[in-house]
Structure 1
Amino acid sequence: MTTLFLYHGEPTGPSLTVLAALFESGLAADLLHIDLAMAQRHAGEVPLGFEANYSVEGEGPVLVVDGEPTVDSVFIGCLLDDLAPQSGLRPTDPYLRWEMMAWCRWMIERLAPGAAALANIAWTTPRLAALDDAEFEGLVAPIEADDLRDRWRQTRAGLLSDDHRKASEARVHEATKKIDDRLADRDWIMGDFSLADLESYAWVAPMRDLIPAAFEGKPRLAAWLERVKTRPSVARALAQAQKPEPAHGFAPGPEINRWG
């Protein structure tokens, strides 16, 4: 029997995706909450292999499957769907499955870096800036990837250029329009509920607190946000929150796409 341990942060971004996907799957797992914004992913208690340290997603959850750490929310969702095919996290039709993965990639590579940049400056920078230098360096010293450690330092310093901010905000506007347009003839992004809805919601929903204008005049988007929020798996995921504002529980990453 497969043994699952999920190390997750507050139910927002990739942690929300994986928590809800796990609950959709019906698989049993031990849930272990960690404070991602305080670098607890690197504190020595979470199993991390090469893939986890160099995760494109940055500081997301880690699902340990029979002792092997796995990372990146969409790929974990696919793994859960393979372990529990009845969950329907991915379409069975080959074309629709490709379309869903293409949609998720857009969210990972276009929206997520912008959303993460805005969320971290707004909510994570103040927490890290409140630490003294020695305490902060102690948090990031165990991080093996130099570029990820540098992103933590940039986040603490509140470094976000005007161009980067404007580009990030533009991606949020682009994503909300993309979803609203997609829902013109359907309730769910792929027609049926899927991983595409989870990944999109996880990154888009927190942006309501930062860029409310991106959500104005989009009634289909508003109705979809409510449908996703009240889906039992998502409601159960949101109930795992340990902080008053779980949507603000981001940590540095993901980085801007550079892989192709």
Structure 2
Amino acid sequence: MTGILYHGQPNGPSFTVLAAALEKGVDLDRRPIDLVAGDRHAAALPHPIEVDQSIEGEGPVLIVGDVAMTDSIFLACYLDEVGTGPAIRPVDPYARWQMMAWCRYVIERVAPAAAALGNAATPPPSVPAGIASADLAARWTQAVDHKVDEAQLADSRAKIVQAVEKLETQLADGRDWLMGDFSIADLETHAWLAGMRAIVPDAFTAAPLTDAWEARLRARPAVVKALGLATVPEPEAIWAPGPEINRWG
């Protein structure tokens, strides 16, 4: 397979896709872009509705032929299909449902909270031109203007604490990986929680199973390579506006 991957630093959704491609042995033409500067909205990138209206916010874009795709979970699933390395999705239908349900929890609860906290900690400098999504443009403006809703941030911190508690519960039976075998769920969970250790440290003070899980994940060769693509000392501290926080809580 040949394809072009426009990606940011190995944090958030860019980490998931970079690590998935390396796990699966997919040789992509990797083209780093500055998501914080708004490079994803530049004219050089394709802008189908799936990219411009992506609910993920500022994530990577994969181009295969004349098709542009986005959203890290779906890109990882695609890479699992086309790659030659060991599967990163369960084969059993129920186990696969469990993995996707876990990933949806991360997408809808953890990712918006992490993005909100990350952007509050390190606001982007300016709103880029060319943003097609009104919702995403509003999140950019809010982040740049540092309009912080303290109640929303408190709720976001609570969601990070809950996510780590969920991890501890999932790992309590002695398994190494969230779904038993290593999967996309491990990549996506790490993608959004890695940068939260500095922002919500209390969530990790009594999480030995999470600590051990993260150490195992960071030791995987594909993850080592993905993190090695960083061009800054602390890629987990680089944030651009992400998914919208669910209005229903």
Same fold (TM over 0.5): yes
Aligned equivalent of 1:175, options 158, 163, 170: 163
CA RMSD of aligned residues (A): 1.3
Question: Any idea what the Cα deviations from partners look like across 1:85-105, whole Å, max 9, x if unmatched?
Answer: 643110000000000000000
- Alpha-carbon offset, residue 258 of structure 1: 5.9
Aligned equivalent of 2:147, options 159, 165, 184: 159
Residues 1:143 and 2:142 are matched in the alignment: no
**Quick one: distance in 2 between partners of 1:214 and 1:167?**
13
Q: CA 1:68 to 1:257, structure 2 compared with 1: closer, same or farther past 3 Å?
A: farther
TM-score, structure 2 as length reference:
0.96
1:36 match: secondary structure: coil
Pairs within 5 Å for 1:1-12: 2-12=1-11
Equivalent AA in structure 1 for residue 133 of structure 2: A
**Quick one: distance in 2 between partners of 1:257 and 1:220?**
29
TM-score, structure 1 as length reference:
0.92
**Quick one: distance in 1 between partners of 2:88 and 2:216?**
16
Aligned length: 247
Aligned equivalent of 1:234, options 223, 227, 234: 223
- Alpha-carbon offset, residue 149 of structure 1: 1.1
**Aligned residue in 2 for 1:83:** 82
Question: Any idea what the Cα deviations from partners look like across 1:167-188, whole Å, max 9, x if unmatched?
Answer: 1000000001101110112010
Name stretches of at least 5 consecutive residues in structure 2 with no aligned partner. Answer: none
Higher helix share: 1
1:59 match: secondary structure: coil
Question: Any idea what the Cα deviations from partners look like across 1:199-225, whole Å, max 9, x if unmatched?
Answer: 000111110011111001111110001
**Quick one: distance in 2 between partners of 1:257 and 1:218?**
26
Aligned equivalent of 2:233, options 239, 244, 248: 244
- Alpha-carbon offset, residue 71 of structure 1: 0.6
**Quick one: distance in 1 between partners of 2:197 and 2:51?**
29
Pairs within 5 Å for 1:65-84: 65-84=64-83
Aligned equivalent of 2:178, options 189, 204, 218: 189
Question: Any idea what the Cα deviations from partners look like across 1:104-146, whole Å, max 9, x if unmatched?
Answer: 00000011100000001112x1x41xxxxxxx45x2x211112
1:38 match: secondary structure: coil
**Aligned residue in 2 for 1:224:** 213
**Quick one: distance in 1 between partners of 2:96 and 2:59?**
24
Contact 1:26-1:87 within 8 A present in 2 as well: no
- Alpha-carbon offset, residue 253 of structure 1: 1.5
Contact 1:118-1:165 within 8 A present in 2 as well: yes
**Quick one: distance in 2 between partners of 1:200 and 1:146?**
27
Residues 1:257 and 2:235 are matched in the alignment: no
4+ residue runs over 4 A deviation: none
**Quick one: distance in 2 between partners of 1:240 and 1:67?**
26
**Aligned residue in 2 for 1:131:** none
**Quick one: distance in 2 between partners of 1:6 and 1:152?**
23
Identical residues among aligned pairs (%) = 49
